[in-house]
């Protein structure tokens, strides 16, 4: 299976990539996969200019000469696109959002109504494409933190989509938290195996992966203590 991982973290030591790597390890336990990891922050990817030249040419490319055209080719190549990133202001980091904005060369200006929504026609057959969103957050699991992101992903990645939003992910980069983070990473390895076998995650699995490692009040106490120190 061909896997494209778009790492949207701006940090070399990404909290979210800990769980993404565990997920990939689980997938690779089931079969040999061709994995391509792109660290988006390291690439020259400019904002969309809104010129719609891509819709005029309909060649699947952007007229801007930067790395985005390679990403478009990689998306078409991949069987599964894994979007791995931290939650920034209840959405994607800006450099990764630029990647999403500039996927419009894969679509056409023409529209149709599908499954109760109006969508653009696609230039290529993307019906078999699978998407996995793995998003980490520094907040505890309070209702509403991921709602905007989940709606955005549902609208953007139509079809085969699994979204996993994990709270308290800064703990994954803290060695003293390993008694709590190691079981979570094991859950993600198991989830990777499940995904490799089924090309989907069950609701029970997602619920387990999204469960906080610490109760809200304890996590907040730890964060505040470090903030004051």
Angle at which helices 15-30 and 178-198 pack, to 10 degrees?
A: 40
pLDDT exceeds 90 at position 198? yes
Give tens-digit pLDDT for 178-196: 999 999 999 999 999 999 9
- Element at 81 (helix H, strand E): strand 80-86
pLDDT exceeds 60 at position 67? yes
Average of per-residue pLDDT values in the chain: 95
Contact between 17 and 70 (Cβ < 8 Å): no
Domains and CATH numbers, the chain: 2-228 (3.40.50.360)
Give tens-digit pLDDT for 119-174: 999 999 999 999 999 999 999 977 789 999 999 999 999 889 999 999 999 999 99
Query: Residue 116: its pLDDT value, please?
Result: 84
- Element at 38 (helix H, strand E): strand 34-39
Instruction: Supply the pTM of this predicted model.
Output: 0.95
């Amino acid at each position: 299976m061909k896997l494209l991982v778009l790492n949207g973290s701006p940090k070399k030591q990404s909290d979210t990539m800990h769980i993404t790597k565990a997920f990939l390890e689980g997938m690779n336990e089931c079969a040999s996969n061709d994995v391509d990891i792109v660290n988006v922050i390291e690439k020259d990817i400019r904002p969309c200019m809104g010129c719609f030249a891509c819709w005029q040419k309909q060649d699947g490319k952007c007229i801007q000469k930067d790395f985005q055209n390679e990403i478009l080719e990689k998306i078409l190549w991949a069987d599964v696109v894994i979007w791995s990133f931290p939650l920034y202001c209840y959405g994607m980091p800006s450099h990764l959002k630029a990647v999403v904005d500039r996927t419009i060369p894969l679509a056409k200006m023409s529209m149709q109504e599908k499954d109760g929504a109006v969508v653009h026609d696609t230039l290529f057959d993307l019906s078999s494409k699978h998407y996995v969103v793995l998003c980490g957050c520094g907040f505890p699991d309070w209702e509403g933190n991921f709602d905007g992101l989940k709606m955005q992903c549902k609208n953007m990645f139509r079809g085969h989509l699994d979204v996993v939003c994990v709270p308290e992910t800064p703990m994954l980069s803290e060695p003293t938290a390993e008694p709590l983070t190691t079981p979570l990473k094991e859950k993600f390895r198991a989830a990777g195996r499940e995904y490799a076998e089924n090309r989907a995650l069950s609701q029970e699995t997602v619920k387990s992966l999204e469960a906080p490692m610490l109760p809200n009040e304890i996590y907040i106490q730890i964060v505040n203590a470090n903030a004051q120190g």
